[in-house]
Structure formats: C-alpha cells, structure tokens
Amino acid sequence: MSDFTETRALVAAALRQAAGRLRGRALLVVAVAAVFLLVPLLLGLIIQNRKPGDVAVRRGTLEPSVPLVGTLLADRSEAYGAVVPGVEIKILWLVEEGALVSTGDRLILFDAAPFQREFDGARARARELSEEAAQAKLALEATKLKTAVDLQEARTAASSSERDLTALVNTAAPLLVKESAHDVEQKERALQEAETKLEGLAPFVSQGFVSQDEFRTAQTRREQAAADLSLAKAKHDALVHQTNPDLIRRKLEESETGRLQLKVGRDRSKVLLGQAEAAARLAAVRLDEANRLVAEAEKKIAACAVVARAPGLAVYSELFDKAGERRKVRVGDAVWGGTTVVTLPDLSHLHAEGRVPESEIHLLAPGQKARVRLDAFPDTPLTGVLRHIGSLGASEKNDSRSFPVTIALDQADPRFRPGMIARATIAGEKIENTLLLPIEAIRTDEQGSYAVVVSALGSTSVRRIKIGRSTSRFVEIRGGLDSGDVVRVAGE
C-alpha cells in the first residue's frame, strides 16, 4: 500500500504541473478529469510489473535473540570415592541415591579391616623401635660421659708429663749438677787438707815426735780423701753426661707419649661419639618411619568413612561389572583407589550448557539476559545470564561450526536435577530506529552483499549494500538502501 500511495502522489504532482500551464478554467477541468482517468491505468501497469515476493525497506527495531537447547549442570560438583591408591577396597554402606546431604553427612563406608591389620603391625613395630631409640640415646649419653672422662685423664697425664719435664730441665737437673759439683769441691778441699796434714807430719816422724800409727792414719785419711774425690768426680761426670740426659730424655718421651695419647684419645672419642650418634640417628629414623606408617594406616582407616565436604545431591557413579555391563555402583562392590563412587552436585548454583551456531555468535556477549525453561518443568519460567562463550568451535554434521555457551540460572530449586533438558532464548542487544530488510532479500557474491532493487515502473537494478547485525528473519541495513526502497527476494 505504501508503494501505491507514493506512485499516485508522483503522478498527481506531474499532472498538477501540466495543468498550471493551461489557461482557462475549462482546460483545468479537462486535465483533472484526465488525471483521474489515467491514474488507475498507470497503477495497473506498475502493479503488473511488481511480483508478490518483493519487499520494501522499512525502519524499525531489531531485537536479535538466539535460541539454545542445552543441558542443566551444577556449577560445582564434588567427587567422592576410594582415596587409597593401589588397593581394592569393598563398599560396606552407601548413602541413598538422590538424597540431599549436608556438609559432614556420611556418604560411603569402606571395609577398613585390611588397614586395621596394617595399623596394628605398624604400631607394634613402632613400640619396639621406640625402645631401641631410647637405648641408643642412653648409649650415646654414656659414650659422651666416658669419652669426656678419658679425655680429661689423658689431658691430665699429658699436662703432668709436661710439668715434670719442665721441672727436671729447669730445676731438678741443674740443682743435681750443682750439688754434685759442690760435693766434688768439698772432696777436693778434704783431700787438700789431708795432704797438707800428711806433709806437716812427715818431718816429725823421723825425729820421733809423731808416732808411726798417727802418720799411717794421716796417710789413710789422704788416700780416703783422694778416693772420695775420685768417686765424687765420677758421680758428677755420670750425672752431667749420662744421668741427667737420660732423665730428660725419658721425661721428653713421657711428655710426647702423653701428647700422643691425648690425640689418640680425642680421635677415638670422635669415632666412638660418631658411632653412637649414628646409631641414635638410625634408631630415630627407623622410629620416625614406623610412626609414619602408623599415621598412614590411621589415615587409611579414617578414609574408609567418607563424609560430605559440601552440601549436594547424592548421585551414584557407574562401573563395569564382571559381565562387562555398565551399571550403578552398589554395596558389596570392590573398587580400586581413585575410583569415584558418589558425586555431589551443588543444586544451589546451576547453569545450562549448549552450543550456538557460528553464524549467531556475533549476536552474543557475556552478561546478556536469557529466558529459560526446563522440559521437566515447562510451567516454571526461569531467567539467567550469559556467563561464558567458548573460544574453540566444533564441526557439526552439516559442516557448519558451533561454539559452547554457558548460561547461569538466577533461580535454584531442589527439584532441579543435573542432566535435565534446558531450552533458552538469549536476548541480544536491541537496535532502535534502524533500516530493516528480510534476510531472504540479501544476496551475496565474491564482492560482498547486494540487493536487487525494483523501481516504481518495475525495472530492476543491482545495488551494493552494507549490512550490520541480523536475526533469523531480518538484517540491519547500514548503507546502500533507503526507507521505502523495494527489493526483490532472492530466487524470485
């Protein structure tokens, strides 16, 4: 209808200009009558050149939205199972699947009997090694005391030998030499006196004033004095050249022996202390290892009672039985360490995960609002926010690509379960007062986008256009077309 009105207005304006040139009232009446006769004819011709699929460019509001079908998941999900590696352990009890559990509630009870035997053996061994460690420590203390006493005795002996040597060299030996020399001097004076007396008596013997007995006594005394002097000199020579040097040499040897014994005692003490300390350390290490095994056994026993670290919904894991069938885990099953038995998805924070075609990714940005409905609860409208757009696309069966997106739900409900089908509509950025054209009217070639424009008289022409955002129905026109332009749909 808008095209018809515009055409009629153009024709009427042309005829008015022609009528203005006519003079006279009659001619004007004739012209006006001709206009009303020709307009239907011209409109008929124009309409005959238009096709039913032609569309007009118009202004409006573009409200892009992206549909999404995804799966409901929990933001956080805790996994629980057998934590002892390398051991197959039997399940004695399980929390009921589907139960809502709180922090600290018991989830799984494993058979702790193998670990209890391990604990008992480790504890007995720890007691034994504790006594050995105590004995090794006492032996170390005793060795320290004995070596200290032995070293003190060796120091005392060495010090005593040094003092004896010093006293001998500086005091005793010189004093003995002086005493011996003094004795020689006394013996020399005694000999001299005896010879003087004998010489004084000799003249009087022949005269009869001195008896022969008295003279012989004087001779005997001189001979005795001479013998005493000779002996004193011999002793002095022996003392100076043999006795004192021998004493000093022995004292030197004793002093050197004392120093060597002290050194040997120190080395021996180091060896004994090192051996005792090594034995004590070894005993302590063995005890620590035994205590570590006790602690590990205690941890294994404690790990047999599994409790919830956070609240959530109890969901059993699946495993393959001996027949190769996949089934839910149950009481009596034996699982290996590291196997997940129960998971606890947190129902207080849920999100929907799905994939969006590559052609619609440009319409999305984190933070956009979304409307969500669950197939399980179709009468419960939900809202959410686009949280994340994946950076890595994946190929689909039709060679197109899609990207993962995540919508965080604003609501939580204990009835909601992970794995439910979620259908969402993500609202893109609204564009006000923009030129719009149906998406099927857009054509493309190697040079870009273009449209086939239909004139008022029905002729067609190719016009290059610049497009912006789009929805599943409309495309934003950013250049090349004006409001009211008629465009032929592709394929027409």
Tell me, yes or no, whether 385 lies in a domain: no
For residue 359, the model assigns a pLDDT of 78
CB distance 354 to 68 below 8 Å = yes
Reading the block at residue 140, the tokens are: 């170390």
Q: Residue 142: give the domain boundaries.
A: 116-292
Q: Which of 5-9, 256-260, 282-286, 313-317 has the lowest mean pLDDT?
A: 5-9
For residue 398, the model assigns a pLDDT of 62
Q: Using CA atoms, how far apart are residues 55 and 164, in angstroms rounded to an integer?
A: 133
pLDDT category at 22 given cuts 50, 70, 90 is very low
Could you tell me if 199 and 84 lie in one domain?
Answer: no
Of 177, 174, 223, give the one whose Cα is nearest residue 197.
223
Could you tell me if 133 and 233 lie in one domain?
Answer: yes
Could you tell me if 210 and 163 lie in one domain?
Answer: yes
Q: Using CA atoms, how far apart are residues 439 and 163, in angstroms rounded to an integer?
A: 120
Residues 6+ apart with CB under 8 A from 249: none
Residues 6+ apart with CB under 8 A from 406: 351, 352, 353, 386, 387, 388
Tell me, yes or no, whether 453 lies in a domain: no
Tell me, yes or no, whether 369 lies in a domain: no
271-290: string of b/e by CB count within 10 Å (b at 16+)?
ebbeebeebbeebeebbeeb
Tell me, yes or no, whether 331 lies in a domain: yes
Could you tell me if 228 and 315 lie in one domain?
Answer: no
Q: Summarize the confidence of residues 210-224 as an average pLDDT.
A: 86
pLDDT category at 199 given cuts 50, 70, 90 is confident
Percent of the chain with pLDDT over 90: 48
Residue by residue, DSSP assigns 365-391 as: -TT-EEEEEETTEEEEEEEEEEEEE-S
Residues 6+ apart with CB under 8 A from 272: 143, 146, 147
Angle formed at CA 380 by CA 376 and CA 384, multiple of 5 degrees: 100
Could you tell me if 207 and 185 lie in one domain?
Answer: yes
pLDDT digits (tens, 9 = 90+) for 431-484: 888 999 898 888 999 899 999 999 888 888 999 999 888 777 888 899 999 998
Q: Using CA atoms, how far apart are residues 158 and 162, in angstroms rounded to an integer?
A: 6
Could you tell me if 190 and 260 lie in one domain?
Answer: yes
For residue 46, the model assigns a pLDDT of 45
Could you tell me if 148 and 201 lie in one domain?
Answer: yes
Tell me, yes or no, whether 134 lies in a domain: yes
Q: Which of 44-53, 211-220, 332-341, 417-426 has the lowest mean pLDDT?
A: 44-53
Q: What is the 8-class DSSP label of residue 243? A: I
CB distance 421 to 354 below 8 Å = no
Structural domains counted in the chain: 3
Is the pLDDT at 12 greater than 70, yes or no? no
Phi then psi for residue 455, to 5 deg, are -80, 175
Element (H or E) spanning 9, and its range?
helix 2-21
pLDDT category at 9 given cuts 50, 70, 90 is very low
Q: Summarize the confidence of residues 341-357 as an average pLDDT.
A: 92
Could you tell me if 211 and 234 lie in one domain?
Answer: yes
Q: Summarize the confidence of residues 18-22 as an average pLDDT.
A: 46
Is the pLDDT at 40 greater than 60, yes or no? no
Q: Using CA atoms, how far apart are residues 55 and 459, in angstroms rounded to an integer?
A: 15
How many other CB atoms are found less than 10 A from the CB of residue 329?
Answer: 21
Is the pLDDT at 386 greater than 90, yes or no? yes
pLDDT digits (tens, 9 = 90+) for 253-270: 988 998 998 899 899 999
Could you tell me if 143 and 26 lie in one domain?
Answer: no
Tell me, yes or no, whether 246 lies in a domain: yes
CA 5 to chain centre: 76
Is the pLDDT at 5 greater than 70, yes or no? no
Could you tell me if 255 and 205 lie in one domain?
Answer: yes
For residue 258, the model assigns a pLDDT of 87
CB distance 7 to 42 below 8 Å = yes
Reading the block at residue 302, the tokens are: 């404690």
For residue 27, the model assigns a pLDDT of 42
Tell me, yes or no, whether 447 lies in a domain: no
Q: Report the predicted TM-score, pTM, of the whole model to 2 decimal places.
A: 0.55
Could you tell me if 278 and 136 lie in one domain?
Answer: yes
Tell me, yes or no, whether 199 lies in a domain: yes
pLDDT digits (tens, 9 = 90+) for 115-125: 999 999 999 99
pLDDT digits (tens, 9 = 90+) for 73-103: 999 999 999 988 888 999 999 999 999 999 9
Which CATH number characterizes residue 313's domain?
Answer: 2.40.50.100
The length of the chain, given as a count of residues = 492
Percent of the chain with pLDDT over 70: 89
